[in-house]
Amino acid sequence: MNTLLEIKGLTCGYDARFFIQEINFSLEEKEFVGIIGPNGSGKTTFLRAITRFLKSQKGTVIFKGRDVRQIGFKEFARKIAVVSQNQPVNDITVEEFVLLGRIPHFEKMQFLETAHDFEIARKVMSLTQTSKFKDRLMRELSGGERQLAFIARALAQEPQLLLLDEPTTHLDIGHQVAVLDLLKKLNRECGLTVIIVLHDLNLASEYCQRLVLMREGRIYKAGHPDEVLSYQIIEEVYKTVVVVEKNPISLRPYVLLVPEEERRARSKKYGKEE
């Protein structure tokens, strides 16, 4: 396995405030890594720092042995694609939207898509099952369909690394599974490396080979879901009481939350028994 991405001592933020500090992280090719953590723990900032949308104040991000600051915008977009949190889209069809993902591959004086660009667009649309609504306008799509279109556009860039920021938020469980199954398939069959920010610990546990748990802008714990998703760690980081069990089918950990009323009732009951 080769190292695809290496982050050393990365510190960055907005204005003078640091949102992530001293991040050290390395990613092998073909890995599927999830970033989890409470709100405001720096997950999105972490992704934005990799994509250089935020300038790093300290530290380096190295992609395949090259400092990302030395990679041009266009070349960078051919290597790393981003699916950001849902953004409003204007009145263009799904196909036109996916074709925008070909822009990084355009030559200097090229204004029109080539047959090859259309071929790639066709391929990624059939892969993401967006072909059937390719002539509909983006704003007419449901949340799940739109998310698939965003992934299709990112795939049209033919990247080696795909970064996704909470792609399953606002989706029902059917669509959540559809999106993650697709990503897993791309990871297995096409060798695409994936970094995904997820809020849902159970989805993260089921799909990711490795989890990075963030707290207050630092990596709190990284490793296999079995190591990261223990109830002690989650209670410590999220400041809430949870129960961690094993999924009987996948044998991955899953996290159950306990409402405060139940907690009180329990402690009273056990308190009496004691």
Partner 1 sequence: MKSNKKITRWCIYLFVLGIILLGISLLSLCVGSAAIPVRKIISLLSKASDSAEYSILFNIRLPRIILGFAVGGALSISGVILQGMFRNPLVEPYTLGISGGAALGVVLSIIAGLSRRLGGISLPVSGFLGAILVIILVFYLSIRKRVLRIQGLLLYGVMISFVSSSLIMLLMAISGADELRGIVFWIMGSLEQPNWLLIKTAVWVSISGLIIAYFFSLQLNALSLGEEDARALGINVENTKKVLFLLTSVLTGMSVSICGIIGFVGLIVPHFIRLLVGNDQRILLGASFLCGSSFLILSDTLARTIIAPTELPVGVITGIIGGSVFIFALTKFK
Among 9, 53, 66, 247, binds partner 1 (CB under 8 A): 53
Cα separation, 166 vs 126, whole angstroms: 23
- Binding status of residue 14 toward partner 1 by CB under 8 A: no
Provide, rounded to whole angstroms, the least separation between the CB of residue 125 and partner 1. 12
Cβ neighbours around 54 below 10 Å, total: 18
Strands 161-165 and 193-197, bridge-based pairing: parallel
Cα-based distances in Å from 250 to 18, 201, 225, 234, 253: 38, 15, 12, 20, 9
Q: Which residue type occupies 265?
A: A
Among 8, 57, 59, 100, binds partner 1 (CB under 8 A): 100
Provide, rounded to whole angstroms, the least separation between the CB of residue 118 and partner 1. 5
Burial of 78 (0-12, 13-18, 19+ CB in 10 A): middle
User: Mask of contacts with partner 1, 60-89, x by CB under 8 A?
Assistant: ------------xxxxxxx--xx-x--xxx
Sheet strands side by side (includes 193-197):
80-83, 161-165, 193-197, 32-36, 210-215, 218-223
Nearer to partner 1, 64 or 78 (CB): 78
Nearer to partner 1, 73 or 270 (CB): 73
Interface size with partner 1, residues (CB under 8 A): 32
Which tokens hold the place of 171?
A: 């989706």
Among 91, 107, 261, 274, binds partner 1 (CB under 8 A): 91
Among 18, 64, 106, 220, binds partner 1 (CB under 8 A): 106
Residues numbered 213 to 242 that lie near partner 1 (CB under 8 A) are none
Provide, rounded to whole angstroms, the least separation between the CB of residue 164 and partner 1. 12
Provide, rounded to whole angstroms, the least separation between the CB of residue 155 and partner 1. 13
DSSP structure class, residue 248: T
Q: Binding segment for partner 1 among 105-113, 190-198, 207-215, 237-245 (CB under 8 A)?
A: 105-113
Provide, rounded to whole angstroms, the least separation between the CB of residue 52 and partner 1. 8
Nearer to partner 1, 65 or 72 (CB): 72
- Binding status of residue 37 toward partner 1 by CB under 8 A: no
Q: Residue 181: phi, psi to the nearest 5?
A: -60, -40
Distance of CA 41 to the CA centre of its chain: 15
Among 114, 126, 250, 267, binds partner 1 (CB under 8 A): 114
Give start and end residues of each alpha helix (H) in the chain.
43-50, 73-79, 94-99, 115-127, 143-156, 173-190, 201-207, 225-228, 231-238, 260-273
Give start and end residues of each alpha helix (H) in 157-230.
173-190, 201-207, 225-228
Q: Which parts of this chain interact with partner 1 (CB under 8 A)?
A: 51, 53, 72-78, 81-82, 84, 87-92, 96, 100-101, 103-104, 106, 111-115, 117-118, 157
